[in-house]
């Protein structure tokens, strides 16, 4: 049995939730003002996820970075390693918004896609 | 682009207003002259933080009042004492600045000056000043009553001020711009100006001086010490000096001027705290106390303090109460004035050694620099330096900026020939890409120097929009990565590393 | 000089300007030109590479560039003239414009209507109180400039940061810097509560264990040529508490301390300004006090969501067309909108037409169990409101009718529970 503290981000109240965890399950949530908070707490305790947005180096000196994003939320614990993977990539034009640049990063089932189109410059 | 100089006839140490005025003057003659400056640009030492007043008849004597007027000495007697050296050179030097404005394309703003009196005793002191000034040819000075002052400056709170004295002929410059203009013009005419060059030692040899710098030694026939606040350190390299510098500091706000003030205004309601508001050539206002009585120990102590800022904002609030000055703040800075202990009233000009000249300047030092330059040329000639005038001396320097103020036809012709003039990179001050390029080509290597030449970064947003663009242009012109560009001297790199560098190396802080 | 006669001139191709241009074209306006000082349209969307955009307007969670690209694509598809690297240098009371670029030199634009969409600039260290005292070294950046350097130009301005201001920009940058491998030693916030969304507090600060110092300020900057650190101090009721100063080392300080609508051109054109918003006084069509000059987006007031900025731009585009067609309806009188209890600011500041009006407002401090009261009739309750969000209130003609008589309508709100704001 353990108690985890989670701040709910679903609305400006920002309820500070006390989440009791036991046997791999959420047994109780305290401090919430609505029921959506309970579901959020469960998700955040067991599988916290974050959308990763960052940049990737390009070969174009006039536009040295391309904004990229994960097409789905990544497990929170994989963010730093993903950044390392992305840092080792470079892209070159032409790129369309949504193009997959890194497929199934770190075997998470999440792709890193282009967040912007980049035309080939003459 | 950095040249190496190993030998010269006249070596000037210090690229402030004194040194640069002198190097330009010497560049009129067929003599090899070299100026060394330890900062990355001329005008970046004590000249950077000055208020920029070109003193005239009234303000010249106000300077006397500033230092000694504690209302216990006989003002009349003090005013009537003979002119100090710095005052003599000031009177000679100021008309030279006025004449050079159009030749060197640097701004001078005519602000006049109004000084306020709080009681009859001050008004009487003003009468004596007026007499003395008239003797010296400054005949436009008038005494004013409350209403007359209100006519000139409607915003001023005259409730406690009884009257004042007005000189319509007072002027303001931005000193680093003039240092750069003098140095540019000197270089055009063959003088050497070496920045990032610091003097580390001086040795007297047979028939010449060996001046050691961080970029190698320079042999010189004559050495001129114009090192501003460091001139005591330089002087101490050749003699045991019997004087030291005393520094008085000032803190100033740079305030927006939305028509709030036309004239320079000045008063000293509390002894030894001369308060000043100056409309600058760039359309702003400098407001603060021009010198505090207390001395500061550390020469590099340019730190503003909370107490200092809280004290100084009251100056504009006291002068013109109806303006929301706290919302008009663009910048604040602190700098200082210096005086030497051998003569707290005056500068020192002497040869501690054969062919080594000390120019130990003090405040005011701006207008005197042009007068001093003429004097030093005479002194060098008297010491046997052969000074023949060049027939091809070019007194003109192109305007480093001001593109946006040109008439439309000229603008468009220039843009047609050079599209980089059509690309404005500074939203606030309207500096163009080409002017930034020109600044680098004229020798600017730091963001601050580009700022003083082109005014990028000096406006309301203080570089928020232009910094990214100016760095890019500088990087292209200098052929270096933006990572190598500094803000000013020392270790002031603007950027640290490339995005991704830490992650790519597998590192994190 | 080249003179361009157009139906509509828009100053700024950020989200407000683009939305206005697209809407005007959609409604049939022929000659629309957008004048943009940067090298590409999109304004700040380019550098806002994080997500959270478009949740309302598109019902999707987009990054800034993704959001921007939707409008940029429309600009080219709809034949809207886009002048880039173009700086407007003058705006006159007759709506005419002088601008400069490399292609046309200094040129004139004569529009049927003009929309101001210049956005904001950032407050500098010199504008926080009387200015942060100390040295003036390299290594101090506003958060927006740092964002541009990191995300567009490709340079980190430091490796160890302190961030002043816990607004969303500051927090987002904190995360960004940590993701890139830098360290953020503290986020310093003057108020007793965070300045941005809770989501950002969690995902930008907690996730990265960045200390958030509430009710603190930076009392000094030190470091001669390059910043070496800051001194932070506790504040109580806005004053520094003596003896609480301590040093935090850093090689870079980011300032996220406020935005100032960029209205120099507006003032030149004689547009009447509103002190609370820092922007022009506008009516519900977003027309300013000068005939035919409209304003939209951050130049009117600092917005919270780009979705709202887009809606603003569309509204201004619609208003401009109505103006050009001579159709701007005016009611029997104008209603002045007054800022009342607990309200920070409201737009529009003036209501002219008898149609439905949407007010945008911000409250002064976080409040729970809030009742918003507008005029005699409009009442709405909220569980919680914070000053970081723009609250919208739609007033029907029936809410407005009698206020045309008095010429005024007051906006205020009260909390029905003691505690966080009364």
Quote the strand ranges of B321-468, DSSP E. 329-340, 348-353, 356-360
Percentage of residues in chain C having pLDDT higher than 90: 86
- Work out the minimum CA distance from C170 to partner chain B, whole angstroms: 15
Give chain B positions within 8 Å (CB) of C155. Answer: 482-483, 495-499
**Residue A26: what pLDDT?**
84
Asked, for residue B74, whether it belongs to a domain, the answer is no
Supply the CATH number for residue B367's domain: 3.50.50.60
B353 found inside a domain: yes
The verdict on residue B77 lying in a domain is no
Kindly state whether residues B365 and B407 are assigned to the same domain.
Answer: no
From A55, A65, A88, residue closest to B504, measured CB to CB: A88
Reported as a single tens digit per residue, the pLDDT across B14-67 is 999 999 999 999 999 999 999 999 999 999 988 888 889 999 878 887 766 665
In this prediction, residues B437-459 reach a mean pLDDT of: 92
Asked whether the predicted pLDDT for residue C155 surpasses 50, the reply is yes
Is the CB of B494 less than 8 angstroms away from the CB of C135?
Answer: no
Strand, coil or helix: what is B179? helix
Contact (CB<8Å) C137/B492: yes
B509 touches chain A (CB under 8 A): no
In a domain, B73, yes or no: no
Q: Residue B325 sits in a domain of what CATH number? A: 3.30.9.10
| Whether B497 contacts chain C with CB within 8 A | yes
Q: Dump pLDDT digits (tens) for B217-274.
A: 999 999 999 999 899 999 999 999 999 888 888 889 999 999 999 999 998 877 777 8
Same domain? B332 vs B441: no
Complex ipTM value: 0.91
Q: With an 8 Å Cβ cutoff, are C383 and A67 in contact?
A: no
Task: Give contacts of B472 with chain A, Cβ < 8 Å.
Answer: none
Q: Are residues B357 and B446 in the same domain?
A: no
Work out the pLDDT band at B1, boundaries 50, 70, 90: very low
State the best of C198, C365, C384, C421 to mutate against chain A, taking most chain A CBs within 10 Å: C198
Higher confidence at residue B68 or residue B202? B202
Tell me which residues of chain B, numbers 247 to 266, contact chain C at a CB-CB cutoff of 8 Å: 253
Q: Range of B13's domain?
A: 7-47+175-243+343-382
Mean pLDDT, to the nearest integer, of B100-107?
A: 95
Instruction: Look at residue C422 and tell me whether its pLDDT is greater than 50.
Output: no
Q: What percent of chain C has pLDDT over 70?
A: 98
Cβ contact (<8 Å) for C106 and B304?
no
Residues of A in contact with C199 (CB under 8 A): 9
CB contact under 8 A, C156 and B495: yes
* Selected residue of B301, B409, B469, B495 to mutate for chain C interface (largest C Cβ count, 10 A): B495
Residue B427 Cα, gap to closest chain A Cα (Å): 21
Mean pLDDT of A46-57: 93
Q: Which of B499, B504, B506 sits opposite A65 (nearest CB)?
A: B499
Cβ–Cβ under 8 Å, residues C158 and C183: no
Q: Is the pLDDT of residue C420 over 80?
A: no
pLDDT band for position B299 (cuts 50, 70, 90): low
Domains of chain A: 2-47 (no CATH), 53-114 (3.10.530.10)
A54 to chain B, minimum CA–CA distance in Å? Answer: 10
3-class DSSP state for residue B114?
Answer: strand
**Pairwise CB contact (< 8 Å): B503 & A83:** yes
Which of A5, A10, A14, A49 to mutate: most C Cβ within 10 Å? Answer: A14
pLDDT digits (tens, 9 = 90+) for C353-379: 778 999 999 999 889 999 999 999 999
Task: List the single best residue of A55, A58, A83, A112 to mutate versus B (max B Cβ within 10 A).
Answer: A83
| B507 vs A: CB within 8 A | no
- When pLDDT is cut at 50, 70 and 90, the band that residue B507 belongs to is low
Interchain contact, A55 vs B504, CB within 8 Å: no
Residue C56 has pLDDT above 70, yes or no: yes
Mean pLDDT for all residues in chain B: 90
**B151 and B253: one domain?**
yes
- Judgement on whether residues B410 and B487 belong to the same structural domain of the protein: yes
B285 and B165 together in one domain? yes
In three-state secondary structure terms, A114 is strand
Among A51, A67, A76, the residue with its CB nearest the CB of C65 is A67
Tokens of A24: 């791999």
Length of chain B as a residue count: 509
The whole-angstrom distance between A64's CA and the closest CA on chain B is: 10
Chain B residues with CB under 8 Å of C252 CB are 496
Q: What tokens does C89 get?
A: 């240098």
Record the tokens describing residue B60, joined without a space: 């010249």
Chains in contact with C via at least 3 Cβ–Cβ pairs below 8 Å: A, B
Using the Cβ of C181 and the Cβ atoms of chain A, whether some distance falls under 8 Å is answered with: yes
Nearest Cα residue in chain B from C98: B408
Q: List chain B residues with CB under 8 Å of C158.
A: 496
Contact A13 C199 (CB under 8 A): no
Same domain, yes or no, for B227 and B290?
no
Q: How many structural domains are present in chain B?
A: 3
Report yes or no on B90 lying in a domain.
no
What is the distance in angstroms between the Cα of C148 and the nearest Cα belonging to chain B? 8
Q: Is B501 on the interface with C (CB under 8 A)?
A: yes
Within-domain flag for B295: yes
- Do residues C341 and C410 make contact, with C-beta atoms less than 8 angstroms apart? no
Distance (Å) from the C-alpha of residue B465 to the closest C-alpha of chain A? 18
Question: Which of A88, A113, A116, A121 is the best mutation test for C, with the most CBs of C within 10 A?
Answer: A116
Q: Indicate whether B408 belongs to any domain.
A: yes
B497 touches chain A (CB under 8 A): no
Q: Are residues B254 and B163 in the same domain?
A: yes
In B, minimum Cα distance to C267 occurs at B258
Give the distance from residue A57's alpha carbon to the nearest chain B alpha carbon, in angstroms: 8
Interchain pair C102, B419: CB under 8 A: yes
Beta strand pairing call for B163-167 and B142-145: antiparallel
Q: Which of B280-294, B420-434, C215-229, C248-262 has the lowest mean pLDDT?
A: B280-294
- What pLDDT is recorded for position B338? 85
pLDDT at B294 over 60: no
Give yes or no for C94 touching A (CB within 8 A).
no
CB-based contact C389 A55, cutoff 8 Å: no
Do B253 and B228 lie in one domain? The reply is no
Nearest CA in chain B to C153: B468
Q: In terms of domains, do B418 and B323 share one?
A: no
| Residue C56: CB atoms within 10 Å | 13
- Asked which of B73-87, B176-190, B369-383, C47-61 is least confident by mean pLDDT, the reply is B73-87
Chain C residues touching A53 at Cβ < 8 A: 49-51, 63
Residues of A in contact with C206 (CB under 8 A): 7
CATH number for the domain spanning B477: value is: 1.10.10.1100
Closest listed residue to residue C318, CA positions, set C309, C308, C328:
C328
**What integer pLDDT is reported at residue C291 of this predicted model?**
92
| Cα B86 from Cα B80, distance rounded (Å) | 16
Pairing of strands B348-353, B329-340: unpaired
Print the SS3 string covering chain C: CCEEEEEEEEECCCHHHHHHHHHHHHCCCCCEEEECCCCCCCHHHHCCCCEEECCCCCCCCEEHHHHHHHHHHHHHHCCCEEECCCEEEEECCCCCEEEEECCCEEEEEEEEEEEECCCEEECCHHHCCCCCCECCCECEEEHHHHHHHHHHHCEECCCEEEEECCCHHHHHHHHHHHHCCCEEEEEECCCCCCCCCHHHHHHHHHCCCCCEECCEEEEEEECCCECCEEEEEEEECCEECCCCCEEEECCEEEECCCEEECCHHHHHCCCCECCCCCCECCCCCCECCCCCEEECHHHCCCCCCHHHHHHHHHHHHHHHHHHHCCCCCCCCCCEEEEECCCEEEEECCEECCCCCEEEEEEECCCEEEEEEEECCCEEEEEEEECCCCCEEEEECHHHHCCHHHHCEEEEEEEECCCCCCC
Last residue of a domain, one of B340, B374, B395: B340
Interchain contact B330–C (C-beta under 8 A): yes
* Bond into B147 cis (ω within 30): no
Chain-chain contact of B489 with C152 (C-beta, under 8 angstroms): no
Q: How far is CA B116 from CA B71, B157, B274, in A?
A: 15, 11, 11
CB C363 within 8 A of CB C387: yes
Contact list, C51 vs chain A (CB under 8 Å): 51, 53, 69
Partners of chain B (3+ Cβ pairs below 8 A): A, C
Based on the domain organization, do B479 and B416 belong to the same domain? yes
CB contact under 8 A, A55 and B499: yes
Distance CA C314, CA C20 (A): 5
The tens digit of pLDDT for each residue in B337-372 reads: 888 889 888 999 999 999 999 999 998 899 999 999
Same domain, B263 and B411: no
Cα–Cα separations (whole angstroms), residue A16 to A19, A84, C208, C384: 10, 33, 18, 15
Q: Which residue has the higher pLDDT, B487 or B289?
A: B487
Q: Compute the distance between CA of residue C357 and CA of residue C367 in angstroms, rounded to an integer.
A: 25
Q: How far apart are the first and last CA of chain B?
A: 37
A65 contacts in B (CB within 8 Å)? 499
* Domain annotation covers residue B292: yes
């Amino acid at each position: 049995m353990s108690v985890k503290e989670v701040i709910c981000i679903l609305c400006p109240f920002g309820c500070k939730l006390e989440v009791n965890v036991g046997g791999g399950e959420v047994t109780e949530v305290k401090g919430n003002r609505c029921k959506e908070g309970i579901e959020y707490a469960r998700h955040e305790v067991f599988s916290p996820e974050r959308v990763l947005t960052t940049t990737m180096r390009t070969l174009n000196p006039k536009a040295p970075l391309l904004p990229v994003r994960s097409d789905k939320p990544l497990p929170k614990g994989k963010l730093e390693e993903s950044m390392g993977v992305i840092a080792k990539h470079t892209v070159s034009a032409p790129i369309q918004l949504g193009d997959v640049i890194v497929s199934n990063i770190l075997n998470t089932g999440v792709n890193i896609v282009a967040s912007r189109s980049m035309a080939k410059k003459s | 682009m950095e040249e190496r100089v190993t030998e010269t006839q006249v070596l000037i140490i210090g690229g402030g207003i004194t040194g640069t005025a002198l190097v330009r003057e010497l560049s009129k003659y067929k003599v090899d002259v070299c100026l060394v400056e330890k900062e990355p640009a001329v005008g970046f030492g004590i000249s950077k933080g000055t208020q920029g007043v070109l003193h005239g008849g009234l303000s010249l004597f106000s300077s006397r009042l500033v230092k000694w007027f504690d209302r216990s000495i006989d003002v009349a007697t003090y005013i009537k004492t003979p002119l100090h050296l710095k005052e003599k050179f000031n009177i000679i030097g100021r008309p030279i600045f006025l004449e050079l404005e159009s030749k060197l394309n640097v701004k001078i703003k005519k602000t006049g000056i109004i000084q306020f009196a709080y009681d009859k005793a001050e008004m009487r002191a003003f009468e004596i000043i007026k007499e003395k000034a008239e003797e010296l040819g400054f005949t436009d000075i008038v005494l004013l009553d409350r209403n007359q002052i209100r006519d000139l400056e409607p915003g001023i709170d005259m409730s406690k001020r009884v009257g004042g004295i007005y000189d319509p002929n007072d002027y303001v410059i931005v000193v680093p711009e003039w240092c750069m203009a003098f140095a540019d013009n000197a270089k055009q005419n063959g003088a050497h100006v070496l920045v990032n060059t610091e003097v580390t030692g001086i040795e007297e040899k047979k028939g010449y001086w060996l001046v050691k710098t961080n970029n190698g030694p320079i042999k010189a026939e004559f050495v001129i010490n114009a090192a501003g606040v460091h001139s005591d350190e330089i002087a101490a390299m050749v003699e045991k000096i019997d004087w030291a510098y005393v520094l008085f500091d000032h803190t100033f706000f740079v305030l927006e001027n939305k028509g709030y003030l036309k004239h320079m205004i000045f008063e000293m309601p509390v002894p030894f705290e001369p308060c000043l508001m100056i409309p600058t050539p760039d359309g702003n206002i400098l407001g603060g106390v021009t010198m505090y009585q207390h001395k500061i120990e550390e020469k590099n102590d340019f730190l503003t303090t909370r107490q200092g800022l809280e004290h100084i904002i009251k100056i504009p609030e006291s002068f013109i109460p109806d303006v929301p000055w706290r919302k008009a703040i663009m910048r604040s800075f602190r700098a200082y004035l210096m005086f030497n202990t051998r003569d707290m009233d005056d500068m020192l000009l002497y040869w501690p050694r054969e062919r080594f000249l000390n120019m130990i300047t003090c405040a005011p030092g701006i207008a005197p620099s042009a007068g001093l330059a003429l004097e030093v040329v005479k002194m060098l000639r008297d010491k046997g330096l052969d000074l023949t005038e060049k027939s091809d001396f070019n007194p003109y320097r192109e305007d480093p900026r001001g593109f946006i103020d040109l008439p439309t036809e000229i603008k468009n012709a220039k843009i047609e020939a050079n599209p980089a003039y059509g690309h404005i990179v500074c939203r606030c001050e309207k500096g163009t890409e080409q002017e930034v390029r020109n600044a680098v080509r004229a020798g600017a290597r730091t963001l601050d120097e580009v700022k003083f030449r082109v005014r990028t970064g000096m406006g309301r947003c203080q570089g928020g929009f232009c910094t990214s663009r100016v760095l890019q242009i500088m990087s292209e012109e200098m052929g270096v990565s933006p990572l190598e560009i500094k803000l000013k001297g020392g270790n002031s790199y603007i950027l640290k590393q490339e995005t991704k560098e830490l992650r790519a190396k597998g590192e994190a802080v | 000089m080249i003179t361009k006669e157009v139906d509509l001139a828009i100053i700024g191709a950020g989200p407000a300007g683009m939305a206005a241009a697209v809407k005007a074209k959609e409604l049939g306006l022929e000659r629309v030109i957008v004048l943009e000082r940067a090298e590409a349209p999109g304004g700040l969307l380019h550098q806002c590479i994080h997500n959270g955009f478009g949740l309302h307007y598109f019902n999707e969670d987009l990054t800034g560039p993704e959001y921007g690209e939707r409008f940029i694509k429309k600009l080219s598809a709809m034949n809207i003239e886009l002048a880039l690297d173009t700086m407007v240098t003058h705006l006159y009371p007759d709506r005419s414009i002088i601008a400069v670029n490399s292609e046309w030199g200094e040129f004139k634009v004569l529009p049927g209507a003009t929309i101001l969409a210049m956005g904001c600039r950032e407050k500098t260290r010199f504008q926080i109180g009387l200015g942060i005292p100390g040295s003036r070294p390299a290594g101090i950046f506003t958060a927006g400039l740092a964002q541009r350097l990191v995300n567009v130009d490709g340079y980190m301005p430091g490796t160890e940061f302190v961030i002043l201001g816990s607004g969303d920009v500051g927090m987002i940058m904190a995360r960004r810097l940590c993701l890139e491998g830098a360290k953020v030693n503290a986020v310093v916030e003057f108020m007793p509560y965070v300045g941005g969304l809770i989501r950002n507090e969690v995902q930008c600060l907690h996730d990265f264990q960045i200390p958030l110092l509430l009710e603190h300020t930076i009392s000094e900057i030190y470091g001669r040529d390059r910043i070496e650190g800051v001194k932070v101090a506790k504040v109580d009721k806005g004053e520094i508490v003596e003896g609480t100063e301590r040093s935090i080392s850093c090689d870079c300080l980011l300032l996220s301390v406020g935005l100032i609508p960029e209205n120099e051109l507006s003032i030149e054109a004689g547009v009447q300004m509103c002190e609370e918003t820092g922007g022009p006084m506008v009516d519900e069509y977003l027309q300013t006090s000068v005939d035919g000059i409209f304003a939209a987006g951050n130049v009117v007031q600092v917005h919270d969501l780009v979705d709202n900025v887009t809606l603003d731009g569309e509204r201004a585009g619609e208003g401009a067309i109505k103006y050009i067609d001579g159709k701007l309806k005016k009611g029997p009188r104008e209603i002045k909108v007054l800022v009342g209890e607990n309200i920070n600011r409201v737009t529009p500041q003036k209501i002219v037409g008898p149609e439905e009006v949407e007010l945008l407002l911000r409250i002064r401090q976080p409040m729970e169990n809030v009742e918003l009261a507008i005029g005699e009739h409009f009442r709405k309750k909220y569980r919680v409101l914070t000053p970081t969000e723009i609250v919208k209130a739609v007033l029907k003609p029936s809410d407005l009718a009698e206020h045309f008589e008095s010429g005024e309508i007051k906006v205020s709100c009260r909390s029905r529970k003691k505690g966080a704001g009364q």
